[in-house]
A and B are shown apart, each in its own frame.
Chain A
Amino acid sequence: QQQVKQSPQSLIVQKGGIPIINCAYENTAFDYFPWYQQFPGKGPALLIAIRPDVSEKKEGRFTISFNKSAKQFSLHIMDSQPGDSATYFCAALPMYNTDKLIFGTGTRLQVFP
């Protein structure tokens, strides 16, 4: 079963727009939520991560918003650029099994000039 649900499947924005990618989870044992960026032919690379004791984290143009009660978290990309065009994956790590990242299905983002 899908432990981490991600939407939308794909997203197209103009340069400067703010794409938002959403993820939801059921398992309350998850306690670490990273986002990965993957370019074609490359492996995923860690972008930003959050733990459930904070509601927001910003790193440069990337922001994670976290809603613990709703079991949802989202990635916002400010002032998006064509170079941000990639596939983005949310993930979750359970506190009882810290070796097993559970990934969402991915969102393909295209940023047009």
Chain B
Amino acid sequence: GAGVSQSPRYKVAKRGQDVALRCDPISGHVSLFWYQQALGQGPEFLTYFQNEAQLDKSGLPSDRFFAERPEGSVSTLKIQRTQQEDSAVYLCASSLATGNEAFFGQGTRLTVV
């Protein structure tokens, strides 16, 4: 596709529900990143993949957060037992390789009620 595509654009979850957020990176991009952006704040790093390998997950806030990229293309960020503090925009970005420009998707706005 032309850019990084994320779905859904908006998600409302009841507290305690599990959610799955999808990211389709730009075709051929090796590196994939997930960021969390709270309202009025800058994005904060969550995790990084190089192809299917998750090389850095140091930003995941708790063990309720899990990300995968099984075939080195599409990635899913899963949040189990959602809490109100998980409400944020979740941004996915991809780049041709580490150190190259990262292109961001439009994000998924998650609201936990």
Give the size category of B's interface with A: 20 to 34
Residues of B within 8 A of A104 (CB): 42
Residues of B within 8 A of A102 (CB): 45
Q: Is B41 a contact of A43 with CB atoms below 8 Å?
A: no
By beta carbon, the residue of chain A nearest B45 is: A100
Q: Is B106 a contact of A43 with CB atoms below 8 Å?
A: yes
Tally of A-B Cβ pairs under 8 angstroms? 54
Taking A44-B91, A89-B42 as contacts, is the C-beta distance between A99 and B101 under 8 angstroms?
A: no
Taking A101-B102, A102-B45 as contacts, is the C-beta distance between A43 and B4 under 8 angstroms?
A: yes
In the assembled complex, the CB of B28 is this many whole angstroms from the nearest CB of chain A, namely 18
A105 at the interface (CB under 8 A from B): yes
Report the interface size for chain A: residues with CB under 8 A from the other chain: 21
Taking A98-B98, A99-B48 as contacts, is the C-beta distance between A41 and B106 under 8 angstroms?
A: yes
Q: Chain A's interface: helix, strand, loop or mixed, by majority?
A: loop
Q: Is B59 a contact of A100 with CB atoms below 8 Å?
A: yes
Distance in angstroms between the alpha carbons of A46 and B103 in the assembled complex = 8
Apart from A43-B104, A103-B42, list 17 A-B contacts with CB within 8 A.
Answer: A41-B106, A42-B106, A43-B93, A43-B105, A43-B106, A45-B103, A45-B104, A46-B102, A89-B42, A89-B43, A98-B98, A100-B45, A100-B58, A101-B43, A101-B102, A102-B45, A105-B40
Q: Which residues of A contact B (CB under 8 A)?
A: 6, 32, 41-46, 89, 91, 93, 97-106
